[in-house]
């Protein structure tokens, strides 16, 4: 049975306009996550760092499940909410990224959980003959934001929403008094994954983002080039990115599928399994 070959790198910068860096990231043992804290000063930093500290408990599990991940998210929700209460206000954090199902990195039957709360994002690029395929660039996650909500409901076109609605109005955050409803996806193993806070993708054009993510460079070079581009683009926010390159079989047939509330990687509905089968034909 073959092993998954993973290489990764991270980069984070305070930017040019912020007094401190409220972003945090996790890059270890099949956990690749970015959290963007909010609440101002110490509360924002504590929110993102504490959230990832809770998620890091998954390092102790050989095989992760959606139920276990959801339990960590609910624990993070509680402790971050307490951070805000102690500070006399609200603290919160986004969260986006990858969690490997089988921590032993065996390839057969393994897959990624992609989890998302808020407006940090996870992207993917397929590998073709060992090089990133620019044409396959894809945003996996779906923003929990007022801008995205206005587009989804048909109220505004994307360009209109971007002009009329502040980008930092998010509809979900870990630590918010509202109930937490994270998104879960199942993703095939191979390719390049880019996980970032909004301080990366809002500071450059989509074309620039795609080019940098698809560059034939190491994860470390890609991560640093994305942060540098965000600073050059204005640096109006903290900028954090984790880049993960994964060598696995059938990388050119990569597929991602959103999981329903009842589904897990090993317990998908017949309809979802059929879609996966058809996509791989």
| Contact assessment for residue 235 and residue 17, using Cβ atoms and an 8 Å cutoff | yes
Paired with 36 in beta bridges are: 23
pLDDT single digits (tens) 12-36: 999 999 999 999 999 998 999 999 9
State the pLDDT at residue 275: 61
State the pLDDT at residue 276: 59
State the pLDDT at residue 248: 83
CATH architecture of 5-142+172-279: 4-Layer Sandwich (3.60)
User: Which positions of the chain have pLDDT values less than 70?
Assistant: 1, 41, 250-252, 270-281
Whether the model pTM is above 0.85: yes
CB-side neighbour CA atoms (13 Å) of 37: 29
State the pLDDT at residue 24: 98
Task: Give the start-to-end residue ranges of the domains of the chain.
Answer: 5-142+172-279
> How many CB atoms are located within 10 Å of the residue 254 CB?
22
Distance between CA atoms of residues 84 and 56, nearest Å: 21
Tokens of 214: 């698809």
Distance between CA atoms of residues 201 and 131, nearest Å: 22
């Amino acid at each position: 049975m073959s092993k998954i070959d993973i290489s990764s790198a991270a980069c984070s910068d305070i930017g040019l306009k912020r007094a401190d860096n409220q972003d945090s990231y996790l890059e270890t043992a099949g956990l690749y996550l970015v959290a963007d804290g909010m609440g101002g000063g110490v509360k924002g930093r504590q929110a993102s760092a504490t959230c990832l500290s809770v998620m890091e408990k998954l390092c102790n599990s050989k095989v992760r499940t959606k139920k276990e991940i959801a339990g960590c998210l609910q624990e993070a929700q509680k402790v971050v909410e307490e951070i805000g209460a102690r500070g006399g206000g609200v603290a919160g954090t986004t969260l986006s990224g990858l969690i490997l199902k089988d921590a032993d990195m065996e390839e057969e039957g393994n897959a990624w959980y992609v989890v998302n709360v808020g407006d940090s994002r996870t992207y993917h690029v397929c590998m073709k003959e060992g090089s990133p395929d620019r044409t396959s660039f894809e945003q996996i996650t779906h923003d929990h934001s007022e801008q995205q909500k206005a587009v989804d409901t048909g109220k505004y076109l994307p360009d209109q929403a971007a002009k009329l609605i502040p980008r930092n109005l998010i509809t979900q955050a870990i630590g918010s008094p509202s109930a937490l409803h994270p998104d879960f996806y199942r993703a095939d193993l191979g390719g390049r994954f880019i996980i970032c806070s909004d301080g990366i993708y809002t500071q450059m054009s989509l074309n620039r983002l795609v080019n940098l993510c698809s560059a034939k460079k190491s994860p470390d070079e890609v991560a640093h080039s994305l942060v540098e581009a965000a600073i050059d683009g204005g640096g109006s926010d903290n900028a954090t990115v984790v880049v993960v390159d994964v060598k696995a079989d059938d990388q050119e047939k990569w597929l991602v599928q959103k999981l329903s509330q009842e589904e897990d990687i090993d317990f998908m509905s017949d309809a979802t399994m059929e879609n996966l089968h058809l996509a791989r034909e």
